[in-house]
Structure 1
Amino acid sequence: MSAQQLAGTAPLLEIERLSVRFGETLAVDDVSLAIGRGERVALVGESGSGKTVTALAVLRLLRDAQVTGTIRLDGEDLLAKSERAMRGLRGSDIAMIFQEPMTALNPLYTIGEQIAETIVLHDGVSKKEAYERAVGLLERTGIPEPRRRILNYPHQLSGGQRQRVMIAMALACRPRLLLADEPTTALDVTIRGQIVELLLELQRDEAARGGMSVLLITHDLNLVRRFAQRVAVMEQGKLVETGSVEQIFASPQHPYTQRLIASRPVRNVLPVLPLAPVLLEAKDVVVDFPTKLTGFRGWWHKGHFRAVDTASLSVRQGETLGIVGESGSGKTTLAMAMLGLQRTAAGQVEFQGKPVKSYQGREKLSLRSHLQVVFQDPFSSLSPRQTIERIVGEGLALHRPDLASEERRKRIVATLREVGLDRTALQRYPHEFSGGQRQRIAIARTLVLEPRVIVLDEPTSALDVSIQQQVLRLLTDLQRRYNLGYVFISHDLEVIGAMAHRVAVMQNGAIVEAGDVGKIFDDPTHPYTRKLLKAALAR
């Protein structure tokens, strides 16, 4: 119970015995939750636990769903209201910040048009006044040059700026209840900190008129600890535990809550052997992308954008090199250049002491099998039309055409077993597996070729904390077993601290600091590294 409820104040939002069913699937099962006026409540749990469905039920945005129970806002039953009445409440009394702003914003309209539309619709003011208020909202949410930015389209803004636009839209009509669905999941650690501080500041600003209540939906426990006052934990559609932040983190009662709290990356890597050979090395790599710039009297002339600026690093056998930095810092571009997949790259990349550019014919094909990559999103990187047997065996068909079909299948089954899956997966498709299982399949696809170096591009950022821990443990075990070299790209410094032997910090395409992970994290010398670490610790 919140302090306000204990004092006898009626809660702003009351959810009683809410159940949501999609056909035969029970997504939310008998959930009861109350949020006080001006209170910040976090709804946590893994993907599929029913968090977002609960929030969408409050807004009555669930289609083809059977919803039972009671949802009251300030004493009024929302489930009993007409659709017309709900349209009046959405945006004005209840607003929502969606998880992915790029898909939530309309790409055909400027951000000014989208914010102003909400204000005109609910407040009935003129377009001119709505635009002025939109400028003020953008300024309030920390977007620089708001009068210029208001004319931009969503694709012209960074991820953090788009999320700020979503917050501005949600706050346009000063709602009494804000539903924030994973508002920081896709953002860099420094941007996450800024968004959290922004939400806290905006809520404090609303305190004069009774306060804005916030329901934060997330699986980021660090964010919960920093932002929320009370926590509600969901598992498989059920609310299994509620309590204050201090109580839940200090003494969780339910076994599922205990597992969530304990699901933090654990460092368990072996030291690199002193004489371990260098497998992959980049020397003074530069990557430029051509651009078109507006010149005198509107003429176009060619320019270039430097994505990677004279970067040098190396990976030894059995070593994990972490590459950290914010979005757009050049992490992935540098890694793709090291794999020989960046055509505009200059400089030198060597595999086992030999320049990659000198590999030709069958030798080049063999090189491809030794350098593999696992991407961030396992769902989009796996073909939905192919079985797991074909996905994992595709590389074998290309690199080992001498293998008979039965021998190929044996190797696929053995590799799936290495990543914790069995032969029953062979004839199934990616959509039949969970996110963690799909990432295991993506790892198996690279492992089956017996690579020497694997580039891991944000391999756990899309996963829940407990599944993240499982994948990290798997990667550690595989490295020990096969002496693999990893290039681990991430903006999660906690994961890098658990996995990496050395770390390179990138900013604006350049490596600003590099060295042993313990030394860099304990005693950073560059201001940007200190900024990243400070933001991570603040979480």
Structure 2
Amino acid sequence: MSAQPENIAAPLLSIDHLSVRFGETLAVDDVTLAIGRGERVALVGESGSGKTVTALAVLRLLQDAQVSGTIRLDGNDLLAKSERAMRGLRGSDIAMIFQEPMTALNPLYTIGEQIAETIMLHDGVPKKEAYEQAVGLLERTGIAEARRRVSNYPHQLSGGQRQRVMIAMALACRPRLLLADEPTTALDVTIRGQIVDLLLELQREEAQRRGMSVLLITHDLNLVRRFAQRVAVMEKGRLVESGSVEQIFEAPQHSYTQRLIASRPERNVLPVLPIAPVLLQAKDVIVDFSTRLPGFRGWWRKGRYRAVNDASISVRQGETLGIVGESGSGKTTLAMALLGLQRTAGGVVEFQGRPIASYQGRDKLSLRSHLQVVFQDPFSSLSPRQTIERIVGEGLALHRPDLSGDERRKRIVGVLREVGLDRTALQRYPHEFSGGQRQRIAIARTLVLEPRVIVLDEPTSALDVSIQQQVLRLLTDLQRKYNLGYVFISHDLAVIGAMAHRVVVMQSGAIVEAGEISSIFDKPSHPYTQKLLKAAFMR
């Protein structure tokens, strides 16, 4: 199916009959797509539908793939160019905002060095000037204290902050074509609006000079409505429908498009029993980090940054506690303290009434099996060198050495079935699965140890809306079946509204509001909570 409207006589990007095959797997099947100069096109579809593979084919970043068809940028065939020529185009003429920033950023260099390198390489400006431009780009993408943050390494930033760094790096050289793969995935609702406005501003500015176009890959349908001019819908590698934003949203023709637009988080949680015991509790928890502060005459001095300040929460059996707040507000840091993975400077964390700091030896090993976590980025949290059987069974080997090999495999197969995967997954590797499937594997890895509490750190942030709905339904079913306690961290307030019994709102490390989900969402009292709800289009 063609996604080239009649008014594009000479498009900036022209993809004709593109097919991409990995061995026996056909990832992209005869896709034809055109993007005009200065046009914004959104590519939507489920995980594994071929959206990202299509974008990577444009950049010639696919390894071990058989690619056929043609891809032309301003009439030039990209598939016919040498690798050296493509290196010159990447970053300057074509830039990409990747979906998973932690795997795209180099952990050995500061974010300032990485942004400045792009500017120096393509624009030829001096290092000092490139660093000043890097600071300016970070400020424009919403990172507070950009001059201090420019010296941070990727692991020192939150997920949302790393995503903003990726956006700054992609925009550094003002490319003619911007491939944005889930550019707002890890961003808070307030920052998301700023980023969309920024992309629109830069795109319109550049469109007048160079005709910058944007191919937006996203599962955020609100973002598509606000940003795109045209929409192309992919399913199982094929382009099934395309048209204007108004046409696709108001009168979708294909059954898959109709199902995609109708996907919304559904609330189907059971009330918590009044007699349900408290499983996990934090009392006045404080977490500090050492940092560098500007000192006298350009010298640096040691300082302390308070990431969590006097936080007190509790989670009961069968209850979901939602934690919301902007990136850097302390949500994940508090979660790591709850798990005993982050040292605290004050307060106490208790599991079943006992301080977790008092657990030692075999008791501590048992505690680890009862407190589990599902991370935001399933790709970086799953070892690429291990099969799914080894990944899911690793915890069993440590916590249940009494099980035989057959007993362990039986339990692994059982838990994979619980999350919607079959035994054919056992000998496969993480890269062979879509994002939604990898998140199911991450859930299976925690579930196999029969935990009491699971910390879910943005478990659906990188998923399409239809897959997100399936994962949320899975989590709800598992909670009902095993009476699990959840600590659910998310910037998506619609997801929190569907899953949580109670919610706490964090700002700058402090809990500014807490209560039952209905009271917080219907009658928020704190100005910050009101701002979050307004930004999420919920008020």
**TM-score between both structures, scaled by the size of structure 2:** 0.84
Residues of 2 paired with 1:323 and 1:132: CA distance? 35
Contact 2:180–2:217 under 8 Å retained in 1: yes
Pairwise CA distance, 1:406: 5.1
| Paired-residue identity, % | 79
Residues of 2 paired with 1:388 and 1:144: CA distance? 37
Tell me the residue number matched to 2:171: 168
Letter in 2 for 1:338: L
Tell me the residue number matched to 2:448: 448
1:44 lines up with 2:47 in the alignment? no
Residues of 2 paired with 1:523 and 1:245: CA distance? 34
Letter in 2 for 1:35: I
Letter in 1 for 2:486: Y
1:114 lines up with 2:104 in the alignment? no
Contact 1:289–1:344 under 8 Å retained in 2: no
Tell me the residue number matched to 2:523: 523
Change (3 A) 1:513 1:482: same
Tell me the residue number matched to 1:55: 55
Change (3 A) 1:312 1:153: closer
Contact 2:138–2:168 under 8 Å retained in 1: no
Residues of 1 paired with 2:454 and 2:267: CA distance? 19
Alignment of 1:233-252 (within 5 A): 233-252=233-252
Residues of 2 paired with 1:237 and 1:229: CA distance? 22
Pairwise CA distance, 1:264: 2.5
Letter in 2 for 1:186: A
Contact 1:11–1:37 under 8 Å retained in 2: yes
Residues of 1 paired with 2:96 and 2:386: CA distance? 37
Tell me the residue number matched to 1:193: 193
Contact 1:264–1:465 under 8 Å retained in 2: yes
Tell me the residue number matched to 2:475: 475
Per-residue CA deviation, residues 448-473 of structure 1 (Å, 9 max, x unaligned), is: 33322221122222333333222211
Change (3 A) 1:386 1:21: closer
Pairwise CA distance, 1:272: 1.4
Change (3 A) 1:441 1:21: closer
**TM-score between both structures, scaled by the size of structure 1:** 0.84
Residues of 2 paired with 1:302 and 1:140: CA distance? 24
Pairwise CA distance, 1:42: 0.7
Tell me the residue number matched to 1:159: 162
Change (3 A) 1:526 1:72: same
Alignment of 1:414-433 (within 5 A): 414-426=414-426, 428-433=428-433
Contact 1:502–1:515 under 8 Å retained in 2: yes
Larger radius of gyration: 1
Tell me the residue number matched to 1:380: 380
Alignment of 1:206-217 (within 5 A): 206=206, 208-209=208-209, 211-217=211-217
Change (3 A) 1:149 1:337: closer
Residues of 1 paired with 2:458 and 2:226: CA distance? 24
Residues of 2 paired with 1:94 and 1:341: CA distance? 40
Residues of 1 paired with 2:271 and 2:185: CA distance? 32
Contact 1:285–1:310 under 8 Å retained in 2: yes
Letter in 2 for 1:467: I
Change (3 A) 1:341 1:197: same
Quick check: 211-220 or 146-155, which moved more? 146-155
Alignment of 1:134-145 (within 5 A): 134=133, 138=137, 141=140
Pairwise CA distance, 1:207: 5.2
Per-residue CA deviation, residues 439-498 of structure 1 (Å, 9 max, x unaligned), is: 333323333333222211222223333332222111101111122111111222221111
Change (3 A) 1:514 1:399: same
Per-residue CA deviation, residues 305-355 of structure 1 (Å, 9 max, x unaligned), is: 212110001111211001112222221221222223323342122233333
Change (3 A) 1:395 1:59: closer
1:34 lines up with 2:34 in the alignment? yes
Tell me the number of residue pairs that the alignment of Structure 1 and Structure 2 aligns.
530
Residues of 2 paired with 1:35 and 1:200: CA distance? 16
Residues of 1 paired with 2:337 and 2:127: CA distance? 49
Residues of 2 paired with 1:451 and 1:147: CA distance? 40
Quick check: 410-419 or 182-191, which moved more? 410-419
Residues of 1 paired with 2:326 and 2:425: CA distance? 36
Tell me the residue number matched to 1:218: 218
Pairwise CA distance, 1:504: 0.8
**Secondary structure of the equivalent of 1:380?**
helix
Letter in 1 for 2:123: I
Residues of 2 paired with 1:150 and 1:353: CA distance? 39
**Secondary structure of the equivalent of 2:536?**
helix
Quick check: 93-102 or 175-184, which moved more? 93-102
Alignment of 1:118-517 (within 5 A): 118-120=122-124, 127=126, 134=133, 138=137, 141=140, 155=154, 158-159=161-162, 161-171=164-174, 175-206=175-206, 208-209=208-209, 211-291=211-291, 293=293, 295-296=295-296, 302-401=302-401, 407-426=407-426, 428-517=428-517
Quick check: 130-139 or 527-536, which moved more? 130-139
Per-residue CA deviation, residues 342-391 of structure 1 (Å, 9 max, x unaligned), is: 23342122233333344455444443333222222334334455554554
Letter in 2 for 1:271: P
Residues of 2 paired with 1:307 and 1:491: CA distance? 18
Tell me the residue number matched to 1:123: none
Contact 2:373–2:455 under 8 Å retained in 1: yes
Residues of 2 paired with 1:393 and 1:144: CA distance? 39
Change (3 A) 1:36 1:518: same
Letter in 2 for 1:484: L
**Secondary structure of the equivalent of 2:269?**
coil
Give ranges in structure 1 of 5+ residues lacking alignment: 121-125
Q: CA RMSD in A?
A: 3.9
Contact 1:141–1:168 under 8 Å retained in 2: no
Change (3 A) 1:531 1:253: same
Residues of 1 paired with 2:386 and 2:62: CA distance? 31
Letter in 1 for 2:239: L
Residues of 2 paired with 1:455 and 1:524: CA distance? 25
Residues of 1 paired with 2:148 and 2:333: CA distance? 27
Change (3 A) 1:152 1:309: closer
Residues of 2 paired with 1:113 and 1:404: CA distance? 53
Contact 1:94–1:179 under 8 Å retained in 2: yes
Change (3 A) 1:51 1:450: closer
Change (3 A) 1:234 1:433: closer
Contact 1:105–1:154 under 8 Å retained in 2: no
Change (3 A) 1:413 1:53: closer
Give ranges in structure 2 of 5+ residues lacking alignment: none
Residues of 2 paired with 1:97 and 1:407: CA distance? 44
Contact 2:325–2:331 under 8 Å retained in 1: yes
Change (3 A) 1:27 1:287: same
